[in-house]
């Protein structure tokens, strides 16, 4: 398989690196980094499918970076995550394989409404989360099979809001704190990104030079973002999730007008 190379200037690479750095910082805190990187990739001259495939490469670096930091600082115990990781990978691979055969436009129309609901949930989080968590709960195995597989499938098929959906599930169904939910979310986000990336690698649509340059930016940005999650906690995560969910909703609604 030939590696596709774009003949672009050093300044464009620096701009892409900077955009990925910002996206990595934001994504580690609240998700939604693709809102920054996908338009930038399209502006650089990539086709929509090349932009999505290349975005998976650079996004994977960011989620792996933040995951590494959360594991290193013991916010996540990786030995407890193997089943959710496996089920999320299966879901993501399935979604990526079916992306050409299913009409994702219908599902995409519902995503803005769901994201607005997630934003409202995070706005009222202190009152709503304890109430929901006390009445709805899943075991570790149930969460892995039901949530890991379904959200992983969604990420492979469409993608926007995956981090917010995982975080909400951890808060509502496992009773996690916001920092713990964010940390565990990044592990599963990295899993779904990596699984989907493997599938995209066989299609020949990844622009590797651009993806690697942006991956470096994502890695360093995610390191900063994941540190802010631990040091600032709820005060930073809640408003960022609300802002990113609403931003993604507006972007998707605008795209489908």
CA–CA dist 13, 21 (Å, integer) = 12
Question: Two tokens at 119?
Answer: 């934003």
pLDDT tens across 190-208, in order? 999 999 899 888 878 889 9
pLDDT tens across 54-101, in order? 998 999 999 999 999 999 999 999 999 999 999 999 999 999 888 767
CA–CA dist 143, 126 (Å, integer) = 22
Q: Which of 247, 241, 249 is nearest to 111 (CA)?
A: 249
pLDDT of residue 111: 80
pLDDT of residue 183: 96
pLDDT tens across 221-242, in order? 999 999 999 999 888 999 999 9
- 3-state SS of 6-65 is CCCCHHHHHHHHHHHHHHHHHHHHHCCCHHHHHHHHHHCCCCHHHHHHHHHHHHHHHHHH
**Which CA distances in Å does 129 have to 95, 120, 172, 178?**
29, 12, 6, 10
pTM summary value: 0.86
pLDDT of residue 1: 43
For all residues of the chain together, what is the average pLDDT?
88
């Amino acid at each position: 398989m030939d590696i596709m190379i774009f003949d672009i200037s050093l300044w464009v690479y620096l701009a892409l690196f900077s955009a990925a750095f910002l996206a990595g910082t934001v994504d580690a805190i609240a998700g939604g980094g693709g809102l920054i990187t996908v338009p930038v990739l399209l502006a650089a001259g990539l086709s929509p499918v090349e932009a999505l495939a290349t975005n998976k490469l650079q996004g994977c670096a960011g989620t792996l970076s933040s995951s590494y930091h959360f594991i290193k600082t013991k916010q996540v115990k990786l030995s407890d995550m193997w089943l959710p990781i496996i089920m999320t990978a299966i879901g993501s691979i399935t979604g990526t394989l079916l992306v050409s055969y299913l009409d994702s436009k219908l599902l995409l129309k519902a995503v803005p409404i769901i994201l607005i609901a997630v934003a409202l949930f995070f706005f009222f989080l202190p009152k709503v989360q304890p109430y929901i968590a006390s009445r709805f709960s899943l075991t570790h195995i149930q969460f892995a099979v039901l949530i890991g597989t379904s959200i992983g499938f969604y990420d492979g098929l469409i993608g926007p809001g995956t981090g917010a959906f995982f975080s909400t599930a951890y808060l509502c169904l496992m009773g996690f704190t916001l920092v713990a939910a964010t940390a565990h979310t990044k592990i599963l986000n990295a899993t779904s990104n990596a699984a989907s990336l493997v599938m995209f690698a066989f299609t020949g649509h990844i622009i590797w030079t651009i993806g690697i340059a942006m991956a470096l930016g994502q890695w360093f940005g995610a390191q900063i973002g994941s540190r802010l999650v631990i040091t600032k906690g709820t005060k930073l995560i809640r408003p960022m999730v609300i802002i990113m969910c609403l931003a993604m909703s507006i972007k998707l609604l605008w795209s489908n007008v």
